[in-house]
Structure 1
Amino acid sequence: MKKTVFLGALAIAGVTGTMAAAQTLEDVTSRGALNCGISTGLVGFASQDANGEWQGFDVAVCRAVAAAVLGDPSAVDFTPTTNQVRFEVLNSGEIDMLARNTTWTFSRDVDLKLEFTGINYYDGQGFMVPAALGVSSAKELDGATVCIQAGTTTELNLADFFRINNMSYQPVPISTASEAQQQYLAGSCDVYTTDASGLAATRAAFEDPAGHIILPEIISKEPLGPLVRHGDNEWGDVVRWTLNALIAAEELGVTSANIEELSAGTDNPEINRLLGSEGNLGEMLGLSADWAKNAIAAGGNYGEIFERHIGQNTPIGLARGLNAQWTEGGLLYAPPFR
């Protein structure tokens, strides 16, 4: 089992993004392992099982990238990071990529010099309250105490929502999802706000999930996705097209069950290019011809990953919604593999 490195609330002193030279692919290959930043623990997205192995929707993205580059989905060293230090840890070069329910925003892309490589979950900020509070709308929360993770877009969205609706609130700052759960259940706050997917994941871990309500209001757009450092376009392409491969595989009907058969060649040229039996897409990325095949085989296509970790038949219970394929009324859409 690969090691797990925990980084706390303070960034490593004296390191800057200038250390991130345009050679990450070479570094990962020579190291023989991918350094991937994830959440400190969010059920369904990134959490450890009884054996200490990391599992989840975001973890699966890391494993797919490791499989694409190294041919081994287990060749990952996971670094759990808090909201406060995740970007510093990435820009310092401590990790190669971040796959940690992180919202793509203008300032993070442009000012913080980060490069989002796509969207793997379309989300929005919501509110959770105890059923006993007797609240059915977020517009009834005037004067409430609210648990909020500092250093997130949710902190700013919360202030905007209460200001627009001429309401007051008392923030209760927390650092991690586990701390939010503890404070909320202890009654330190009336409300917990974060991405709706995070609320569903948190509630699923409660002893009495039915005793808590996720209110109907969604107050923001939260496009979540993996990110890398600016200035390393070759590596950005690897992560971007690995995510696209998972999405395209679902659209094209490529699954973990039939991938071996389809990789021998089909009548569909795009499937052939994706799986490496035709064309030279792998060579263009600096990877083997079967890079996408390896990425998809690691955990299945996007739909398989979604259903296994956070879908309606899991304790998280999320419907596909906006995260359905574009052919099914959702927003998922991979550029052509040609």
Structure 2
Amino acid sequence: MKALRLTLAAAMGAAAIGAAAMMVAPAMAQAPATGAATLDAIRARGTLICGVNTGLAGFAQPDSQGVWRGFDVDYCRAVAVALWNDPGKVRYVPTTAQNRFTALQSGEVDLLVRNTTWTLSRDTSLGFDFTGINFYDGQGFMVKTSAGVRTARDLNGATICVQPGTTTEQNLTDWARANRIRFTPVVIERLEEVVGAYVSGRCDAYTTDVSGLASTRSAQPRPAEHMILPDVISKEPLGPAVRHGDQRFADLVKWIHFGLVGAEELGITAANVQQAAQSDARPDVQRMLGRSGDLGQMLSVDNAWMVNIIRTLGNYGEIFERNLAPIGLQRGPNALWTNGGLQYAPPLR
């Protein structure tokens, strides 16, 4: 979600940010692997280290048995399946809005899949590469139904809860200035604390990505007591991120996403992927499922990489429905382009 303030970047430059990150976290398990060495280091370790949210229903949250589940978690698992055909070979590192970037820069995590917005500054000054947009989102507002608020313009004079270290802060300020809305921000870093402040009535409204609002609402004892206003004040293209220079690894993560979307386009599901690999004569299917073209070898994985991923996790639509439909999110812009959405896979060939 959201953009880290760039005051440090302006003063020190991207290289100094990396050095500062190492000073902040001297206890990191290892120095960052760079270039082609990243993928090699992951293989040698035998485990993918994936940075995720500290707990966001539908996206990344441990269940009652301590097993991590969610939309972002399934993307981490998909990488492990591509590499080892084993979704269990992932170590999840919970990260906050503020420390997630340090974790990736320093090498504490190999991959960041934490509902993070793709922005120019993150793609350049912070030294990251985004590998695609796996969720099209936007910033919204949630209020208590009893408040009688119907649009964001009704929040003039309100107190609004917001997390620091996110694009949410700047979006809120820009929107309020443009619309001549006065508000009092209540800035709290930890997700559970900012939600608690909103629920307890310390804030009149809570603002973050609409997906995050839906997740928070679904976790309340009486979800109907909270409503997400219809106003969406920003574009928030969310997706996985790797470090600059990790091109081989970036290619793998990128094409896993496109493979999941492409599988849905072609009607390939967890239930029929094995049969499709044997009997579906469509050239696109044969290439995707490793029967021709050696696409897996181009990504340094087995040619059956997509068969294994789809068999284990399903296609993009199945991952979405399993994780996000239960918290009330509809496909919307995340529908396939053939169904009026924005999800579109380049050709796997």
Q: Same fold (TM over 0.5)?
A: yes
User: Structure 2 CA distance, aligned partners of 1:80 and 1:100?
Assistant: 9
**Cα deviations across residues 137-174 of structure 1 (Å, max 9, x unaligned)?**
10111111111010001111000011011121111112
User: Structure 2 CA distance, aligned partners of 1:77 and 1:265?
Assistant: 36
SS, match of residue 308 in structure 1: helix
SS, match of residue 242 in structure 1: helix
Contact 1:20 1:91 in 2 (8 A): no
Report sequence identity in percent.
Answer: 53
Q: Which moved more, 1:24-33 or 1:149-158?
A: 24-33
Q: Which residue is equivalent to 1:332?
A: 343
Unaligned runs of 5+ in 2: 1-22
Q: Which residue is equivalent to 1:69?
A: 83
Contact 2:32 2:108 in 1 (8 A): no
User: Structure 1 CA distance, aligned partners of 2:48 and 2:31?
Assistant: 20
TM-score (norm 1): 0.93
User: Structure 2 CA distance, aligned partners of 1:51 and 1:191?
Assistant: 33
Residue 205 (structure 2) pairs with residue 194 (structure 1): no
Q: Which residue is equivalent to 2:150?
A: 136
> How many pairs align?
325
**Cα deviations across residues 221-249 of structure 1 (Å, max 9, x unaligned)?**
00000110001111100100011111111
User: Deviation of residue 265 (structure 1)?
Assistant: 4.4
User: Structure 2 CA distance, aligned partners of 1:194 and 1:209?
Assistant: 17
SS, match of residue 38 in structure 1: strand
Contact 2:33 2:41 in 1 (8 A): no
SS, match of residue 56 in structure 2: coil
**Cα deviations across residues 121-140 of structure 1 (Å, max 9, x unaligned)?**
00000000011211111011
User: Deviation of residue 188 (structure 1)?
Assistant: 1.3
User: Structure 1 CA distance, aligned partners of 2:32 and 2:60?
Assistant: 27
TM-score (norm 2): 0.91
Residue 308 (structure 2) pairs with residue 294 (structure 1): yes
Q: Which residue is equivalent to 2:242?
A: 228
Q: Which residue is equivalent to 2:224?
A: 210
Unaligned runs of 5+ in 1: 1-9
Residue 148 (structure 2) pairs with residue 148 (structure 1): no
Q: Which residue is equivalent to 2:17?
A: none
Amino acid at match of 2:333: L
Residue 334 (structure 2) pairs with residue 320 (structure 1): no
Amino acid at match of 1:236: A
User: Structure 2 CA distance, aligned partners of 1:262 and 1:27?
Assistant: 34
User: Structure 1 CA distance, aligned partners of 2:120 and 2:33?
Assistant: 21
User: Structure 2 CA distance, aligned partners of 1:62 and 1:162?
Assistant: 37
User: Deviation of residue 14 (structure 1)?
Assistant: 9.1
User: Deviation of residue 27 (structure 1)?
Assistant: 1.1
Contact 1:11 1:89 in 2 (8 A): no
Q: Which residue is equivalent to 2:291?
A: 277
User: Deviation of residue 295 (structure 1)?
Assistant: 1.9
Q: Which residue is equivalent to 1:6?
A: none
Distance 1:147 1:293, change over 3 A: same
Contact 1:20 1:229 in 2 (8 A): no
Q: Which residue is equivalent to 2:4?
A: none
Matches within 5 A, 1:71-220: 71-220=85-234
Contact 1:33 1:70 in 2 (8 A): no
Q: CA RMSD in A?
A: 1.5
Contact 1:20 1:93 in 2 (8 A): yes
Q: Which residue is equivalent to 1:20?
A: 33
Q: 4+ residue runs of structure 1 moved beyond 4 angstroms?
A: none
Contact 1:245 1:296 in 2 (8 A): no
Contact 1:184 1:190 in 2 (8 A): yes
**Cα deviations across residues 43-88 of structure 1 (Å, max 9, x unaligned)?**
0111111110000011010001110111111110000000101011
**Cα deviations across residues 23-45 of structure 1 (Å, max 9, x unaligned)?**
11111111111100000000011
SS, match of residue 278 in structure 2: coil
Larger fraction in helix: 2
User: Deviation of residue 110 (structure 1)?
Assistant: 1.0
User: Structure 2 CA distance, aligned partners of 1:275 and 1:284?
Assistant: 14
SS, match of residue 287 in structure 2: helix
Q: Which residue is equivalent to 2:7?
A: none
- Which residue, out of 59, 74, 78, partners 1:60? 74
